[in-house]
Chains A and B, each alone.
Chain A
């Protein structure tokens, strides 16, 4: 446990000791800011019957941002340590592989959440100018951030896996980006193929990510979706663990 906490702290500190963490946060703030402008435009002067949180996520742009930021956060995790050789000093300490994977994943998820926190400001600004008190509720706000957290776990676990596969950060980043883009395409398919009731369509419906996020932003917690996101996360973390352990079978 001590090793896990120590490692998580160091991993998290790495984002802020170098400029990379600040650049990622600034980049995200810019993109979210642009999204915010389109939101303000769409609100205009007409009355809207959606909570602010849903307005925010009403387009695919937010998902694209998530898919873009994930590789930047995760590509470093294992690949850099393997490239510089610190992976050797890390794995020759009495720290279990599970702790290493868990610590790196936890740190990336915490960073992901920290990265989204500034968006709270946007919410409060809209609420300030909205004339309905129900425009922003704590419940929907929490469920929106829960959705973000789960989406983050989903994509960051894929990133962890990609980073564990290689010692080249660019390869790791690219793999994550491709996986993320593939998810967006599945999302597009899920929205555009008529549900025939057969099993392919049902499976596909799980990848209707933007609709799922909209549900979260409306305060709807669908356990199937939560279980799906968490299972994918654990599956990829398990694969990561296997990849890290594989050096012991070779």
Chain B
């Protein structure tokens, strides 16, 4: 149905009294994809998710989930979505199994089916050991998993998770990421985060949001390539300064070079290639032929951190820098 698109957002704008949280964004998400919504706090991630999950109406624009309009076919859309809001609100006075069964019944699962599904998701989220504990007495990691189990319990086509790993310790974060990754294929997942490595590790595609707009949308690898297009290489070589400079000047692949002294007799050479080719083999060959000591040879990889900072930095700051 509708050519495999799970989410279609067109010109979505959401204004609250006084300010615009999301202004005219458009994006699509295919079935089975894991998409990360990335951006600093206040970028409009949560608002976008709230509109998608039918909690808030859009001011303008159209939002469709599985081909259904979130406003007009709200009930049907909600049946297909598993949503975990920010801060993961739970009924703290209930027990884990009791809560999940309650949620499953609310979502329209029959008596037997809800029991079976609760067993499955508790297994999936490693909650079986704490099934009889009161949620309020559980650690944050467990509560987060209860929230996830709740989002999964009715086997939704689309799972929307707002900051699913916030406030967890590294081990718990890893466990939650594993769980999210394991959902790919069978479910479509939209997660929001402001932590880059998280999106880098779990998502097929990332949407970078800033001040209510989508600034970039691509796979983590492509974004990477986009940024490190010049492919600058840094080499630390022990050789006479003159020889080095002449060598780089004569090398046809090098467009621009910069040599600065490092400690001892080593020099640090920053080399920019023509049309983004990889200079490393050439440099190694030169050093071998001339008998220079080569102690470091790295290609500058822009981490997504840089992309993120660059994309989300306000323009005036960029000009000043």
Residues of A near any B CB (own CB < 8 A): 2-3, 6-7, 10, 14, 17-18, 84-86, 88-96, 247-250
Binds A, one of B51-59, B280-288, B296-304: B51-59
- Contact between chains at B53 and A6 (CB < 8 Å): no
Complex Cα distance, B233 from A82, in Å, reads: 55
Q: Is the CB of A17 within 8 A of B55?
A: no
A95, B106: Cβ atoms closer than 8 Å: yes
Assembled-state Cα–Cα distance A53/B54 (Å): 51
Residues of A within 8 A of B150 (CB): 89
The CA-CA distance from A10 to B78 in the complex, in Å, is: 21
Which B residues, 84 to 98, have Cβ-Cβ distances below 8 Å to chain A?
84-87, 89-91, 93-94
CB-contact partner of B103 in A84, A88, A93, under 8 A: A93
Chain A residues with CB under 8 A of B267: none
B102 contacts the other chain (CB 8 A): yes
Contact at A88–B55, with CB atoms within 8 Å? yes
Is the pair A18, B107 in contact by a Cβ cutoff of 8 Å?
no
> Is B56 a contact of A247 with CB atoms below 8 Å?
yes
Size category of the binding interface on chain B = 20 to 34
New A-B pairs, 6, CB < 8 Å, besides A10-B94, A250-B57: A2-B105, A6-B105, A18-B93, A92-B55, A94-B78, A247-B57
- Of the candidates A7, A14, A84, A85, which one forms a contact with B106 in the assembled complex, judged by CB atoms under 8 Å apart? A7
Q: Would you give 16 A-B contacts (Cβ < 8 Å), ordered by A?
A: A2-B108, A6-B105, A7-B106, A10-B94, A10-B102, A14-B93, A17-B94, A84-B89, A86-B89, A89-B85, A92-B54, A92-B78, A92-B81, A93-B107, A247-B55, A249-B57
Nearest A residue to B54 via CB reads: A92
Q: Is B75 engaged at the interface, CB distance under 8 Å to the other chain? A: yes
The interface residues of chain B lying within 8 Å CB-to-CB of A248 are: 56-57, 71
**Contacts A2-B108, A94-B107: A89 and B83 contacting too (C-beta < 8 A)?**
yes
Mostly, the B contact residues are: loop
Alpha-carbon distance between A159 and B56 when the two chains are bound, in angstroms: 25
Q: Is the beta-carbon distance between B94 and A88 smaller than 8 angstroms? A: no
Main secondary structure of the interface of A (DSSP, over half): helix
Q: In whole angstroms, how far apart are the Cα atoms of A249 and B57 in the complex? A: 7
CB of B79 within 8 A of CB of A94, answer yes
Bound CA–CA A84/B106 (angstroms): 19
Complex Cα spacing A2 to B108, Å: 7
Residues of B near A7 (CB, < 8 A) are 106
Q: Judge whether A96 and B75 touch: CB under 8 Å.
A: yes
With A2-B108, A94-B107 already in contact, the answer to whether A88 and B102 are too (CB < 8 A) is no
A90 to B102 alpha-carbon distance, docked (Å): 11
Give the complex CA separation of A94 and B106 in angstroms. Answer: 8
CA distance A2 to B75 in the complex (A): 15
User: Using Cβ atoms and an 8 Å threshold, which residues of chain A touch B84?
Assistant: 89
Contact indicator per residue, chain B 53-72, by CB within 8 Å of chain A (1) or not (0): 11111000000000000010
Q: From B75, B85, B91, give the contact of A94 (CB < 8 A).
A: B75
B81 in contact with A6 (CB, 8 Å):
no
Task: For B93, list chain A residues within 8 Å (CB).
Answer: 14, 17-18
Chain B residues with CB below 8 A from A10, complex form: 91, 94, 102
CA gap between A248 and B76 in the complex, in Å: 16
Closest A residue to B88 using CB positions: A85
Give which listed residue, B57, B71, B102, contacts A6 with CB less than 8 A. Answer: B102
B12–chain A nearest beta-carbon distance, Å: 16
Most chain A C-beta atoms within 10 Å of own C-beta, residue among B81, B90, B93, B105: B105
Chain A residues with Cβ below 8 Å from B56 are 247-248, 250
Cβ-defined contact, B106 with A3, below 8 A: yes
The reply to whether B79 and A91 contact each other, CB–CB distance below 8 Å, is no
Q: A91-B55, A94-B75 are contacts. A86–B90 as well, Cβ < 8 Å?
A: yes
A88, chain B: closest CB distance, angstroms: 5
Q: Roughly how many angstroms separate A248 CA and B57 CA in the complex, as a whole number? A: 5
**Interface pair A86/B108, CB less than 8 Å apart:** no
Q: B53 contacts which chain A residues (CB < 8 A)?
A: 92
CB distance from B261 to the nearest CB of A (A): 58
Across the interface, which residues of B come within 8 angstroms of A95, CB to CB?
106
